[in-house]
Amino acid sequence: MIGSGTTVLVATRNRGKSKEFAEAFGKLGIAVKDLHDVEGVPDIEETGTTFAENAFLKAKETADIVGIPVLADDSGLCVDELGGAPGVYSARYAGEGAKDADNNAKLLRELLQLKGAGSAAETGGGPETLSAARFKCALVLYDPADGSRIDAEGFVEGAILREARGEGGFGYDPLFWLASHGKSMAELTPAEKNAISHRGKALRALLSLIQ
């Protein structure tokens, strides 16, 4: 059973992400390592069709190698007018190795082609948007000792802007409009973003299940 005194490996090489998880798990007496602390873990191919499937693939395959509980996540953007795309392909929407600017450009191009040049919606006096959308995050904590898993998800609802706004954040943040804040995700302060982020919500849900 995962609890106080347990060590969990977070399947990431992102120091910022592992620090966020370490601070959260530390409150439960759970120590956190990341992929910088272990050897022999290859990049896990994300072949799942959902965020939860990809998170589980990464968690289980990594745990089978390292022999301790592993937490993995997968997240991305789902746009209603595109049938949920880019979804699990969010990071590589414009192709393998695509940069944020490439992915954003493809997203706008596809929405504008679909909707036509003059069909953006007004958002209550705010900027024009092209579609409702949401950021999703799935977390899976897998324990190889007994094959048990804990799943949690988090969501942030918003809309896709016709034009990018803001210099902060990364990925699709400049195109993601939050009517509740009157800002794009890229215009939020780090504290504002952390308070509403899909990963933060998923993490809080996961911790409540562990407790």
Question: How many structural domains is the chain composed of?
Answer: 1
Domain CATH number, residue 194: 3.90.950.10
The domain of 95 spans 7-210
Domain contains 27: yes
1 lies in some domain: no
pLDDT class for 3, splitting at 50, 70, 90?
Answer: confident
Q: pTM score, two decimals?
A: 0.89
**Mean pLDDT along residues 138-155:** 96
- Among 34, 43, 64, 74, the active-site one is 74
Predicted confidence band at 20 (pLDDT cuts at 50, 70, 90)? confident
Annotated binding-site ranges for Mg(2+): 45, 74
Residue 62 has pLDDT above 60, yes or no: yes
Q: Is the dihedral of CA 122, 108, 136, 34 positive or negative?
A: negative
pLDDT digits (tens, 9 = 90+) for 147-184: 999 999 999 999 999 999 999 888 999 999 999 999 99
Decide if 74 is catalytic: yes
Residue 44 lies inside a defined structural domain of this protein: yes
Specify binding-site residues.
Answer: 12-17, 45, 74-75, 170-173, 193, 198-199
Is 83 part of a structural domain of the chain? Answer: yes
How far is CA 104 from each of CA 8, 11, 40, rounded to the nearest angstrom?
A: 34, 26, 34
Q: Decide if 150 is inside a domain.
A: yes
3 state DSSP class of 210: helix
Angle value at C-alpha 75, between 166 and 20, nearest 5 degrees: 80
User: Does residue 100 belong to any structural domain of this protein?
Assistant: yes
The Cα–Cα gap between 134 and 68 comes to 33
In a domain, 2, yes or no: no
